[in-house]
Amino acid sequence: MAVKLSTLARYQTHLLDHYENFPHGRYVSLIVVRKTESETIFRTEGSGEGLVKETVIAGIQDQRPLRRVVITKRKQTAVERRTGRELLREQKMLKHPKDNRGRELDHECALNTNQPCEQCIDCMLYGFAVGGGGAQKARVITDDAFSLAPVSQVTDRRTFNATYDNSTMRSPLDGKASTSINEDEYVRPETHFLDIETLKDVTIGELQYVIGNILRSTRYGAISSRLGRVKNTIAAIVFSDCELFSNLELTQAVYDRLPHDEDQNLPFPLADRDVETAIQQATDHLLARVVSRTPVVVRGQDLDAVRAETVELYRSPEQVKALLEEIDAGYSAAARQRSK
């Protein structure tokens, strides 16, 4: 059953018809707005570290130094990879790794085991490395994402404790007081981060798979079972023949175009509409300086249609399975070509 992605199909000339081993210089940049919808802690679970922060220049025009919260690149793609792998596991599309003699192992492909299958969609798109040899460079290129507003506006601290069964800080067994009192620094709800995920030499099916992973991922950072709700929105899709501007440059250009008060501070929380308008203006300004063929920008009605088709696709397990099988067949064909 062929999957119909009519809107993305209009841009087929900017994508590969099938997976190939050699680079072709076809880039797709997904400009993503990540907006926190609950208290969120962007650090490793159980590490005890604080939030990652960097002091950078506020904007391109506004040259004041500004301290921003950072979501490191791994904290973004790791979540989206797991979202995609859940789907692959559900559809039985994860492969079995092989040992040095080419025999299949009992377990399926899994992250962080040094035993990737080297064949599944996740391995072929997001990359893998094997200690003993093989590797696939990721074709999903990411960077650190920066908060639009400064640390002082978007963070706070909360003290928490661990109570006993009797809902007090004293043990019902011996009456001793608990010492489990800690403090966490967190990112406040309705904080906006800007991110560009760049896909290199992908097919229309692979592009749709990555878009689905982004839109379906909702929990980021530490303690994500209780915190860390994030809403991802794709603000634009840009087709080009090279990588575009950085996350930081985009953040700075958007910052300059947002409304400020008389003391040159941003309002908090920022209105989504203001952020969207500033992204559109900043993107057009920055694209004019990119050394490439004329970039093709998808926004407005076409972008709305891509979102609608993504929703429709995931409503149907049969359509999802057909999409994954279509992508997977392209890798199999490339493997057969290599073996000739």
Nearest to 147 by CA among 184, 190, 197: 190
- Token pair 């966490």 is at which residue? 184
Q: Taking phi first (over 0 means left), then psi (-120 to 50 degrees means alpha), and beta for anything else, what does residue 104 get?
A: beta
Q: Hey, how many other C-beta atoms are within 10 angstroms of the C-beta on 305?
A: 15
Phi, psi angles (nearest 5°) of residue 295:
-65, 145
Residue 166 pLDDT > 80, yes or no? Answer: no
pLDDT digits (tens, 9 = 90+) for 293-330: 999 999 999 999 999 999 999 999 999 999 999 999 98
287 against 106, higher pLDDT: 287
How confident is residue 45, by pLDDT bands cut at 50, 70 and 90?
low
Q: Taking phi first (over 0 means left), then psi (-120 to 50 degrees means alpha), and beta for anything else, what does residue 234 get?
A: beta
Residue 25 pLDDT > 90, yes or no? Answer: yes
Angstrom distance (rounded) from CA 10 to CA 172: 67
DSSP string, 178-223: P--EEEEEEEPTT-EEEEEEEEES-BHHHHHHHHHHHHH--B-SBS
Residue 232 contacts residue 215 (beta carbons within 8 Å): yes
Pull the structure tokens for residue 226.
């209780």
Sequence-distant (≥ 6) Cβ neighbours of residue 276 within 8 angstroms = 33, 235
- Token pair 């979202």 is at which residue? 83
Angstrom distance (rounded) from CA 180 to CA 192: 32
This prediction's pTM:
0.90
pLDDT digits (tens, 9 = 90+) for 240-271: 999 999 999 999 999 999 999 887 889 999 99
pLDDT value at position 1? 43
Angstrom distance (rounded) from CA 253 to CA 282: 5
Nearest to 12 by CA among 1, 28, 23: 28
**What is the rounded end-to-end Cα distance, in angstroms, of the chain?**
29
337 against 257, higher pLDDT: 257
Angstrom distance (rounded) from CA 12 to CA 338: 25
pLDDT digits (tens, 9 = 90+) for 116-146: 888 899 999 999 877 555 678 899 999 999 9
